[in-house]
Amino acid sequence: MTDATSAIDVLEQSVLGSRRPSNVAVAVVVSLGGVGFFLTSLSSFLHRDLLPVGHPSDLVWVPQGLVMGFYGVAAVLLAIYLWSVIGMDVGGGSNRFDRGAGTATITRQGFRQLIDVQIPLRDIQAVKVEVRDGLNPRRRLALRVQGRRDMPLTRVGEPMPLADLELAGAQLARFLGVPLEGV
Cβ-in-10-Å burial (0-12, 13-18, 19+) of 43 comes to buried
pTM for this model (two decimals): 0.81
**Domains, the chain, with CATH or none:** 3-17+90-181 (2.30.29), 22-88 (no CATH)
Q: Please give the Cα distance from 50 to 68 (Å, whole number).
A: 14
Model confidence at 7: pLDDT above 90: no
Provide the 10 A C-beta neighbour count for residue 55: 9
Cβ–Cβ under 8 Å, residues 81 and 31: no
pLDDT at site 1: 41
Mean pLDDT of 83-94: 95
Query: What is the three-class DSSP state of 54?
Result: coil
Per-residue pLDDT at 183: 65
pLDDT tens across 25-82, in order?
999 999 999 999 999 999 999 999 999 988 999 999 989 999 999 999 999 999 999 9
